[in-house]
Amino acid sequence: MSRVSLEGQVAVVTGAARGVGELLARKLSARGATVALVGLEADALKGVAEQLYGDGGHWYADVTDHEAMTRVAREVQQRFGKVDIVVANAGVANGGPFTESDPEAWRRVIEVNLIGSVVTARAFMPALTASRGYLLQIASLAAITPAPMMTAYCASKSGVEAYAHSLRAEVAHRGVRVGIGYLSWTDTDMVRGADQDEVMRELRQRLPWPSNKTYPLGPAVDRLVAGIERRSSHVYGQAWLRGMQAVRGYLPGIVAAVGQREMRRFEPRLKGVRTGLVGAGGQADEQRRSTLSN
């Protein structure tokens, strides 16, 4: 499909305070888009907004809060007149063995990654329908293949992939296109946070090549931008992920066999694995929930 110019388009990016969301917002802005940033880190969002090349704005909101996201959608439309692109990027992660996992952190991964994506789409779908726009749902290699010590994250990303496929079929006749973005391990605060745990880092490094590498952020985001310009149904942050689609049916069996061996190897060290949310984004989410509970 030919590329659509982003000049004059209005794009919304959730989870825009750092990582994929931050760089994506800046690259969309550089191509002429007006960008609305959404996230939980108000100061960081303000800093990103100040780096945008043209018009833009930032909104503090929890993507799992339907009322807050409905308000954001209304205010973005009022300020910029329309919404052409929505990137549901906000996400958190935790790790560790399921039986020892923090139940609240496990649930929160599902809430932010899956429910938050749904809430985002629900809030902005009227605007996207009006503009015949494009929704890009950020998924992961974790949607294509399972991995031990990542039960919540794999479940959430498999969920958003299936949901986005279903939504695509529902809204296509209204002129709205839905894409799914796949990323492998990419150099972000979330991945660096996970790597701070020695066991999680070593376990990932023992994955088969090329899934055991951490990939630079810039080229991955460039691929996402190109996918947005093409209104692509599938966007791959790393080129080799496209090939994984062809063999994904075999991957659970392979992972089960290899994972069983590796988990036996790491069993004596599993008690010390941190099971809370990882990275600066995870910390921001935990701080917000702690504030609300006090």
CA quadruple 115, 253, 205, 100: dihedral sign:
positive
| Strand pairing category for 34-39 and 10-14 | parallel
For the record, the structure tokens of 144 come out as 């294509």
SS3 state at 222: helix
Q: Which residues are catalytic?
A: 153
SS3 state at 119: helix
DSSP E strands, the chain: 10-14, 34-39, 56-60, 85-88, 134-138, 177-182, 234-236
The total number of residues shown for the chain amounts to 294
What is the number of other CB atoms lying within 10 angstroms of the CB of residue 104?
13
Rounded Cα distance, 53 and 29, in Å: 6
Rounded Cα distance, 281 and 188, in Å: 10
The DSSP bridge partners found for residue 38 are 14, 59
Find tokens 């110019």 and name the residue. 5
What's the CA angle centered on 62, arms 56 and 66, to 5 degrees?
100
DSSP state of 150: -
Rounded Cα distance, 6 and 29, in Å: 9
